[in-house]
Chain A
């Protein structure tokens, strides 16, 4: 058996993320003892109508969130316990709401820093209704093998180590959350473990005190002894002593009290929990509590360290007198499924990766491009073209190559508002569309007729150079297999009206005295084609393509140089329209040649 929390306990949790975290811990315990999750509902108005996902074993449970306790208990009539994880300023209202619901019999408040007055009002209200109000500042309640309320008991491994999967013979009541776990552990190592452990919270006036729980333990035949971990301040330990000494009790009482250090500290220096404060006249000191407990017949070890042996001694007496039998441990315990990461770390599982990357990694404290940390690249004077080289071609390009790329980008950053890309972006901007979508609209225009010829131009020039074709052979090959030569021809520019960007780029690259076989070939092609027709000149796409192939960039990356550069212009156009607060535009009728059939009658539907 156990007290307060058992196999019939059905829980609603009031609160947000802290409550969800607690539910996850509670689900781990339920999984360990092979019982369904005891949390049926959450109450948290901001998330009402949604569900919280709680892992259980290797699966996920969806637990509904309601806006009020009434709504939760209406939908889950078996609810009988509430855990309050609401902030201190709203905790009283939440606690009252739970206490006032006829279904709820136990309310445990985890919230810390609740005003003393509020805690007293909640405690008094619960007593009036004959219910239990535990806390505030409670770490929770756990009954071995039956029920966990809150995070008490800690991580899954600790639940197993502390043998919380099956009942022992010791009850535990503590003010401190951390020490509750310590005592549970001690009871499992020096004795047969616990029945129920309760954190009553470290506040001055907890809703339920030691005596109420001692009374419950006294009436629970499975509990043979109770361990109390006390603190200086208040009179709860004295009351417990009074209860224990009042008449012969079935349960044995073992107790320790902290705060002896106060005797040798400057007066008024206050340590620990809110409730840990000595009274004006020495009442509530560790010594007076400890003396009262001893006088009442409790076993009071001199230090915390002596608690283990004291519990052991008590347990051995119980064994000898036949009041308890040595527990039988289950042969196999459920193990909490590992996450994929944990299992991989333990070399227990192999996962086929979904994607593979060979260029970058940002799992450390900063991104690495092809292995080089970004900050180191910056500090050693590398620039954007080098990053492009690393991410597009996985190599550190030279200063000279970087300069060429920089110039290409500067020359192709924008080409005015009339070209397809910029026009599409402006049209979208005027329609009130956001930046990324408007730029994407412009981006969509890049293709075989606008800006998208760089890759193909590079591919064919390279093909010709690799196969040592003459210009005539190349033009014949293109005519037969592909059609017009990409990178040759311009809508506006011609021999007489040359493209200055091309002249600039060719001039610069030629001045470098490096080998440029593709560019040389492209210029030879232009000589032939421009004789045939005045505007069949080497255009900026073709020039870029030839130069980029010459400095070794992969063919498939070539369009990227135009896309990247032009993005600068497209963003500029969007910002420009936005700044002007441009109105919506549409085509005028006179700009459309309406070649559709004249208006006519619709025939009957057949």
Chain B
């Protein structure tokens, strides 16, 4: 699941014939000023300026300004660019035209196990959140496209009538076409508005989640995916992502500021159980990490360096289930190199390391870890006979 920012999201909707407000994404006021000279609508319309970043509650942060003329939009842009919010620096602002309207509606398309679901409601904005029963659904099996009749029926069920029912049906049809053709996993337009003047439906605000795995067949996805957790990726996270994109197998790393228990477990399944165990024992996670699919040792070494660099950590959990084909000796070799490097840089002082693992060449790998004791590491090594997450219990009980 890959989140797409508003700009590229609107671009995809426009591609499939959905009306969207005119908009520009700029990285400086100068750019906006130049665009103002080239685009009449910027001078004529009332405008909205928003920080174009993966940030939650932008309104509260003052990063959404409405009802602006061009001069005010320039001022807002100037104010927003460069603003620091947590780990994110605002680098882009999206300026779009305000659409004069009275009515607000809701339309979404989402992925289900059977196929797809189209959701329509004749209320929108925050109203739909509190009146969820007014949302009507059309379920489609995979491979099936909605007929104009079924869409009109859905639209009428949701309370639309006459010409508007037809318009809403068409709008939903285009949403489906966009969803289906662009390998989307979730498309939500809230609100859909009835534009004063021409009575056309326009998508005012949208959430677009695409299937990152389908990127190979979408050469026009020339935008970066946004982090989904309300902050930008950190430098360390981006570096691990860069390694991940280059290798067989995978390495993952997410920082959680303020934690003291660092995670360096193997496997997408076991890693979450390890994290659960830390939380269940009252520990505070300093990060999430995982390596899986027999990655090269150098990639695991990079991941280890990042984990060792986390501030204020007391324990490192090098956990893992019994691997199917990940070579324990080789991947542990990468971890050991990372540990040694961290130690030579003065890190890992007063940090306890806890190891539990099984799999191909487990004995050699665990022996190599045990040998780190002789190099002055505070390390405790366990094999398959110690249940998976027991090292977390031991780590959090140890003083």
Contact = CB atoms under 8 A, between A and B. Distances in A.
Interface string A539-582: 00000000000000000000000000000000000000000000
Contacts of B229: 266-270
Interface string A105-148: 00000001111111011011000000000000001100000000
B115 interface: yes
A286 B276 contact: yes
Interface stretch (A213-221, A255-263, A392-400, A444-452): A255-263
A83 to B, nearest CB: 14
B217 interface: yes
A276 B268 CA distance: 10
Contacts, number: 190
A176 interface: yes
B275 interface: yes
Interface stretch (B4-12, B75-83, B388-396): B388-396
Nearest to B249: A112
Contacts of B301: none
A205 B113 contact: yes
A117 B325 contact: no
Interface string A503-529: 000000000000000000000000000
Interface in B242-274: 254, 256, 266-273
B269 A273 contact: yes
Contacts of A115: 183, 211, 213-214, 217
Nearest to B393: A305
Interface size class of A (residues with CB under 8 A): 35 or more
A551 B51 CA distance: 82
Contacts of A154: 322-325, 358-360
B324 A153 contact: yes
A191 B70 CA distance: 73
B322 A185 contact: yes
Contacts of A266: 229-231, 256
Interface string A281-323: 0000010000000000000001111001000000000000000
A475 B280 CA distance: 99
Interface size class of B (residues with CB under 8 A): 35 or more
Contacts of B293: 112
Nearest to B132: A281
A277 B285 CA distance: 19
A205 B111 contact: yes
A121 B111 CA distance: 13
Given A120-B115, A304-B389, A158 B358 contact: yes
A276 B358 CA distance: 24
B196 interface: no
Interface of B: 1, 56, 111, 113-115, 141-143, 180, 183, 185, 211, 213-214, 216-217, 228-231, 254, 256, 266-273, 275-280, 285, 288, 290, 292-293, 320-326, 358-361, 384, 387-390, 393
15 contacts: A113-B213, A178-B267, A178-B326, A181-B322, A181-B323, A181-B359, A231-B269, A232-B272, A258-B272, A258-B273, A261-B278, A265-B285, A268-B228, A274-B213, A276-B268
Given A258-B276, A265-B256, A304-B388, 7 more contacts: A121-B143, A158-B322, A176-B321, A269-B288, A272-B290, A276-B272, A304-B276
Interface of A: 21, 25, 88-89, 112-118, 120-121, 123-124, 139-140, 151-155, 158, 161, 174-182, 185-186, 202, 204-205, 209, 229, 231-232, 234-235, 256, 258-261, 263-274, 276-277, 286, 302-305, 308
